[in-house]
Structure 1
Amino acid sequence: MIVQNEVDLSFTNIVEGRRSVRKYDSSAVVTEQEIRELLELATKAPSSSNLQPWRFLVVTDPELKAKLLPIAFNQQQVVEASAIIIVLADLEMYTLSDKIYESAAAAGYMTEEVKNNMVANSTRMYSSLPPERLKEIAVFDTGLVAMQLMLAARTKGYDTVPMGGYNRDQVKELFGISDRYLPTLMLPIGKAAVPGHPTTRLPIDDITFFNKL
């Protein structure tokens, strides 16, 4: 059972309480079961045609984290956080459409006819997209799941920081990742040793336009 660590679980407080934490308590452990539970919550995120292109490479081994350190430009959170979740975009996510829609049909969410049409249409459409458009869709969806993962972690009293600053080619080389998978962001998760500092945001009136730009 996950200890809530006295976190205020109202949505507003979860969102306002999330900080990008860069200094972690290296003695704190997020268990594999806890990570699985967080990923279950995170993957409720929406995705294009429900193709769920996100894949998660969870790194907890200290030796592997040490190898990630120079790849992440020596950002210490890579070795101090309990786990590093590398979020990957599957550029061939449409190849799992049969499994995805079969599951939906088995759950009673669609008929067999609709399932067959969805499999055929999604496979045809996504496989024929220009590579850059397909990449754009997959990366967008991994951003959705990553944000949901950060908020889920906060509900359990854990801290995170989204990292785009690392060498993607070296990550692929270290783990033998094929070109099918594109590393998008690296997400340390653990307990803060030093709280993330608060930041400000632009006023809504500066960034919002109603009915015309």
Structure 2
Amino acid sequence: MSINVSEQEKKALYHLMEERHSVKQYQPDYKISRAELEEMLQAATTAPSAWNLQHWRFLVIEDQKKKEELLPIAYYQQQIVDASFVIAVLGDVEANKEAEGIYQEAVEEGFMSEEIKDTLVGQINGAYERGGSFARDAAFLNASLAAMQFMLAAKAMDYDTCPIGGFKREEFIDQFHVPDRFTPIMLMTVGKAAKEAYPSSRKALENVVTYNSF
């Protein structure tokens, strides 16, 4: 079912995107409720994903002692311990294992035939079995889509975020017992800003857009 978006709703969305900036200073005593957290996470999971495999996984680090453990892994960035929580966005490098269950549900709901399901599952497994960087690339791409959607949902709820790519991934995996199946994509601090982020400029469209071919 298509939904007609009003001009006002479009402007509100664009404004939200423009107002989202990476905040690095948070009110250390501000706590976001579990209900609000889960509302943001639910919004994140509506992101698109290749073959609907939903490659994202979220490790929520809200315990203060755990944030202290994370601090040196994230190069002692104060935002790690001051934010209400930190989300480690993980990508599933074995996402093909989800295909059978996802598509079987679609069959049971009448969205596709058993034959189409078997064809799709075979294609997915074939892509993953070829090796190379495919699985890792897919994990990074699709989990990042969900991360961006989370950041917009947080801003819509008047919270702030900062995606962090600079952290010691192997140490993080060891310290937080991340299964081999998941690769860390980014850390993301979430909380109430203590200081507004510095606005950043963006390149003009003519410097980033090329039509049809280089």
Q: Same fold (TM over 0.5)?
A: yes
**25-34 vs 103-112, greater mean Cα deviation:** 103-112
Q: Find out whether 1:187 has 2:192 as its counterpart.
A: no
Q: Which residue of 2 aligns with 1:11?
A: 13
Q: Which residue of 1 aligns with 2:207?
A: 206
Q: In the TM superposition, what is the alpha-carbon distance from 1:118 to its structure 2 partner? A: 2.2
How does the TM-score come out when normalised to structure 2? 0.90
Q: Which residue of 2 aligns with 1:134?
A: 135
Q: Which residue of 1 aligns with 2:174?
A: 173
**Relative to 1, partners in 2 of residues 1:34 and 1:105: Cα closer, same or farther, differing over 3 Å?**
farther
Residues 41-52 of structure 1 mapped to structure 2, 5 A cutoff: 41-52=43-54
Q: In the TM superposition, what is the alpha-carbon distance from 1:123 to its structure 2 partner? A: 2.4
Q: Percent identity?
A: 37
Contact kept? 2:16, 2:152, Cα under 8 Å? yes
How does the TM-score come out when normalised to structure 1? 0.90
Q: Which residue of 1 aligns with 2:41?
A: 39
**Relative to 1, partners in 2 of residues 1:107 and 1:82: Cα closer, same or farther, differing over 3 Å?**
farther
**Relative to 1, partners in 2 of residues 1:106 and 1:153: Cα closer, same or farther, differing over 3 Å?**
farther
Unaligned runs of 5+ in 1: 1-8
Q: Which residue of 1 aligns with 2:153?
A: 152
Deviations 1:21-52 (A, max 9, x none): 00001121122222221111111111111111
Deviations 1:133-173 (A, max 9, x none): 21111111111111111111111111000000110011101
Distance in 2, matches of 1:30 and 1:183, equals 24
Number of aligned positions between the proteins: 205
Give the aligned CA root-mean-square deviation in angstroms. Answer: 1.7
Q: Which residue of 2 aligns with 1:30?
A: 32
Q: Which residue of 1 aligns with 2:80?
A: 78
Distance in 1, matches of 2:150 and 2:130, equals 28
Distance in 1, matches of 2:56 and 2:189, equals 17
Unaligned runs of 5+ in 2: 1-10
